[in-house]
Structure 1
Amino acid sequence: MSHIKPSQSSSLDDWLCYLEQLHPANIEMGLERVAQVANSIHLLTTSSKIILIGGTNGKGTTARCMEAILLAQGHTVGTYASPHLIRYNERVRINGQALPDQDHVDAFFELEQGRGETQLTYFEFGTLGALALFKRYAVDYVLLEVGLGGRFDATNIVTPYASVITTIDLDHKEYLGDTRELVGYDKAGIFRTDTPAIVGDLNIPHTVTDYGQEINAELILSKRDFHFTPLEDGLRWQYQEYDLRFSKPAIPAQNVATALTALARLDLLPEEVQLRTTLDNLQVEGRFQQLSDAPLVYTDVAHNPESARYLRTKLLDLKNQGFKINVLVAMLADKDKTSVINELDDVVNSWACASLSGPRAETAERMLAALPPETQASTRTFDSVSSALDVLLPEQSGDTALIVFGSFFTVAEAIQYWKK
């Protein structure tokens, strides 16, 4: 297949199209190729302190929490996250802000010149591009979100200042295995000898601690070294000399506690008043994000059983306030739809299913088939999130809450709908 190489004056869209066609596989495990390219253009010699953040759920919110706390103290911070909701530029933030297209184009051009004959996937190209931008901006700290697993993910070529695992659940079974022990072992691959390794999962598989001990990482474990207790109106967090209470954060308490513990271990927490203010102002797009007040509409990226359990707590809050819960769900074909639905079905009053578009998209009809048989008869299907919203929104009343969830693509469509 011939590809016309973009240049430094090409658009970011041209570059992204080129990167999508460049490698036959979306995912190729192994670090040799990525490390080779990174070393050839000296990406790994950097003054920034890099914190690797892995986990099944909660990477983005944990990173956002750490980013906000570091920025509040005047540090410069680069954050790498994926996938993006609306624009590619969301994947790389410098001090909380997306960068102009040309910065990404310059980074991709440098990589294209430096990679020689070495093949890279879209994600690997993006990861190296982010590292090039962080080096160029010489940020104090880099928060690097791991893509898939850990051990063989492109982000794992760096030497971390600390490594964080948020949660461990079953996702991407075809790559990581079908038990939490296998998934945990893969994620623990981001640990390093004599380096802080903070684990927020509430039921840590033994493979994680076994590997951490084997390589002599400095393990800091939830329920052993740090604790958090969700309170009626907030959160209590305890670690070493810290015992603090906060008002209810906008993101899961577990991820706040993990972020706080990592920063506390690195001696990077501000004084208490500033910390409280920062947490009170924290918001993360696509995480139980309110899109509309009347009718009441929320959107959420939940797409596996664990994130569905967290979404369930939010729905119960609404139910306790007297709202009927209407749900519009659209997911990717490779997700465990049945388990996700089972976590939520008993708190939902009515379901609707929509199709997504794209190579991994699930159809509304197959989504419908994952619902319990007694629910299917009253469930409508739509060919897109936006066509579903056209029909569903006028039907909502003052005592209903509509939740649009199921994937990053679903949330992106819902947010775009409101931006029209």
Structure 2
Amino acid sequence: MTEINQSQSFNTLDDWLSYLERIHPNEIELGLSRVKHTASTCDLLTIPSKIILIAGTNGKGTTARCLESILLAHGYTVGVFSSPHIHTYNERVRINGEMLPDNEHISAFQGIEDKRGETSLTYFEFGALAALWLFKKHEVDFILLEVGLGGRLDATNIVEPDASVITTIGLDHTDWLGDDIEQIGYEKAGVFRANKPAIVGALAAPKSIVNYGNDINAQLIEVERDYSFKLTSSENWQYNYHLQDDTNASVEFLSLPMPNIPIQNAATAITTLLSLNLTLNEQKLIESISSLTVEGRMQPLLKQPAFYVDVAHNPQSAEYLATQLDKMRANKGKIIAVVAMLKDKDIESTLACLLNVIDEWIVAPLSVPRGEKQTRLFEYLSENTDTNIQQTANLKESCELALQTANKNDLIIGFGSFFTVAEIMSELENRDI
């Protein structure tokens, strides 16, 4: 680790980010003592905003985006901290739906650096503190914090949230969180607080989540018990929430538009706001849901042939991607996949979820330190599908090959990682849509 005995200063955001990558020996170091000590020194533990913590294996980003959209539509000011980014670091912090200029991040980093002394912080921890610094400075009404890893020991968990959310639960980051679903559920439930709303959006949630919530006397609000949602047509869905009071009353929205995210996450977002006793205007809710877009989630890049990207990188997200692709198949020819993944992901189980919807595969290595070689993907697919599989030396070649072999009615989907999506988007940014 680079030992820093005095405060550093840099003039550009790139220089700051390079510095943050050097000052701690590990990319991840779970634990709250270091980051909480620095937050206390910086007076970031008592921010007078409503704070919502969002944990889960998948769906954190889309749930945060939905919360943000609904709150903005109702006239609130909102700060969002999320990760990872696709193009630039600035994506990790939004205020009122907009990224901040470099100088804002530079100022926040300098503020944290001047106060941290010799306390070591990871890249993520430094960024989380800087986000809180910016939200406090801008005096936002609501702060939405997307948990980085797990929950109980994640840097975002230093705050005292007004509501906490668990979106979904799956086997991911098993080296850090445990290799069974109950242990992972326990780690994520660590974001709950006594006597505060604890929204469980995960279907068939592990018992450890409910047990933990009951043990600490959290105000548990569970999907399919306290709130529900269901499709009413191909274009609409309805929502119901039983108020957590003595009235036995319900809040219903009978005709909501289909969002560009899983309905489960939209329903969880609505429930979270209702649990905080917000009154939601139905028309504003409809408008915010219908206009909702999330970068990197079934995002179209080209029209003919259709080229989409999705950050799906584990079995849960791959299952949802498979359902989306299957719905689109009726209007398309064959579906061609461009795939590159990280070596520490459950590659085989993720690919298995898409075997029945992909007609041709093009696999590539991922050019980052944690990137997996294309040979692992090729070997698994070769043993488990009779469809055409091709290997390339990089994602640029994969994109070119997909575009050469596809006809105008085909659909190309690039997926496997945030890094995969970022690289594909970079390759295609100068093409006419």
TM-score by length of 2: 0.94
What amino acid maps onto 1:213 in structure 2? Answer: N
Residue 236 of structure 1: aligned partner: 238
CA distance in 2, matches of 1:227, 1:201: 12
What amino acid maps onto 2:92 in structure 1? Answer: R
Could you tell me how far 1:47 is from its partner in structure 2? 1.1
The 1:9–1:339 alpha-carbon spacing in structure 2 relative to 1, beyond 3 Å, is closer
Q: Which moved more, 1:373-382 or 1:292-301?
A: 373-382
SS at match of 1:347: coil
Matched, 1:251 2:253: no
Deviation string, structure 1 residues 304-330 (Cα, Å, up to 9, x no partner): 111011001111112233431111111
Residue 318 of structure 1: aligned partner: 328
Matched, 1:142 2:152: no
Runs of 4 or more, structure 1, over 6 Å off, are 3-6
Could you tell me how far 1:363 is from its partner in structure 2? 1.2
Q: Which moved more, 1:324-333 or 1:76-85?
A: 324-333
Residue 404 of structure 1: aligned partner: 414
Could you tell me how far 1:377 is from its partner in structure 2? 8.2
Residue 339 of structure 1: aligned partner: 349
CA distance in 1, matches of 2:229, 2:343: 35
SS at match of 1:258: helix
CA distance in 2, matches of 1:157, 1:28: 15
Given that residues 79 and 144 in structure 1 are in contact (C-alpha distance below 8 angstroms), is that contact kept between their aligned partners in structure 2? yes
Residue 217 of structure 1: aligned partner: 218
What amino acid maps onto 2:337 in structure 1? Answer: V
Q: Which moved more, 1:372-381 or 1:351-360?
A: 372-381
Matched, 1:39 2:40: yes
Residue 76 of structure 1: aligned partner: 77
Could you tell me how far 1:9 is from its partner in structure 2? 4.7
Given that residues 81 and 91 in structure 1 are in contact (C-alpha distance below 8 angstroms), is that contact kept between their aligned partners in structure 2? yes
The 1:64–1:374 alpha-carbon spacing in structure 2 relative to 1, beyond 3 Å, is closer
CA distance in 2, matches of 1:386, 1:87: 20
Could you tell me how far 1:2 is from its partner in structure 2? 5.0
Matched, 1:351 2:361: yes
CA distance in 2, matches of 1:379, 1:224: 45
What amino acid maps onto 1:32 in structure 2? Answer: S
Could you tell me how far 1:115 is from its partner in structure 2? 0.7
| Equivalent position to 2:285, from 272, 275, 280 | 275
| Equivalent position to 1:386, from 383, 393, 396 | 396
Matched, 1:288 2:289: no
Deviation string, structure 1 residues 316-369 (Cα, Å, up to 9, x no partner): 112233431111111111010110111110111111101111111111112212
Could you tell me how far 1:46 is from its partner in structure 2? 1.1
Deviation string, structure 1 residues 105-156 (Cα, Å, up to 9, x no partner): 1111111111111111111001101111111111110000000000000000
Given that residues 72 and 274 in structure 1 are in contact (C-alpha distance below 8 angstroms), is that contact kept between their aligned partners in structure 2? yes
CA distance in 1, matches of 2:396, 2:279: 42
SS at match of 1:74: coil
CA distance in 1, matches of 2:35, 2:7: 21
Could you tell me how far 1:392 is from its partner in structure 2? 1.5
Residue 117 of structure 1: aligned partner: 118
Could you tell me how far 1:264 is from its partner in structure 2? 1.4
SS at match of 2:388: coil
CA distance in 2, matches of 1:35, 1:13: 26
CA distance in 2, matches of 1:147, 1:402: 30
Could you tell me how far 1:415 is from its partner in structure 2? 1.6
Residue 157 of structure 2: aligned partner: 156
What amino acid maps onto 1:320 in structure 2? Answer: A
The 1:383–1:376 alpha-carbon spacing in structure 2 relative to 1, beyond 3 Å, is farther
What amino acid maps onto 1:242 in structure 2? Answer: V
Residue 395 of structure 1: aligned partner: 405
Deviation string, structure 1 residues 369-394 (Cα, Å, up to 9, x no partner): 23241547831112222221122212
Could you tell me how far 1:88 is from its partner in structure 2? 0.3
In the TM superposition, what are the counterparts of 1:5-84 in structure 2 within 5 Å?
A: 7-84=8-85
SS at match of 1:314: helix
What amino acid maps onto 1:191 in structure 2? Answer: F
Residue 247 of structure 2: aligned partner: none
Could you tell me how far 1:236 is from its partner in structure 2? 1.8
Residue 181 of structure 2: aligned partner: 180
Given that residues 166 and 188 in structure 2 are in contact (C-alpha distance below 8 angstroms), is that contact kept between their aligned partners in structure 1? yes
Could you tell me how far 1:10 is from its partner in structure 2? 1.8
SS at match of 2:356: helix
Deviation string, structure 1 residues 6-40 (Cα, Å, up to 9, x no partner): 85452111111111011111111110000000001
Q: Which runs of 5+ in 1 are unaligned?
A: none
CA distance in 1, matches of 2:150, 2:333: 38
Residue 369 of structure 1: aligned partner: 379
Q: Which runs of 5+ in 2 are unaligned?
A: 243-249
Could you tell me how far 1:277 is from its partner in structure 2? 1.0
The 1:110–1:374 alpha-carbon spacing in structure 2 relative to 1, beyond 3 Å, is closer
Identity of aligned residues (%): 50
What amino acid maps onto 2:359 in structure 1? Answer: N
Residue 103 of structure 1: aligned partner: 104
Given that residues 6 and 14 in structure 1 are in contact (C-alpha distance below 8 angstroms), is that contact kept between their aligned partners in structure 2? no
TM-score by length of 1: 0.97
What amino acid maps onto 1:14 in structure 2? Answer: D
Deviation string, structure 1 residues 22-64 (Cα, Å, up to 9, x no partner): 1111111110000000001111121111100000000000000
Q: Which moved more, 1:353-362 or 1:75-84?
A: 353-362
CA distance in 1, matches of 2:384, 2:267: 40
Considering only aligned residues, what root-mean-square deviation do their CA atoms show, in Å?
A: 1.6
Deviation string, structure 1 residues 76-109 (Cα, Å, up to 9, x no partner): 1000000000000000001011111111111111
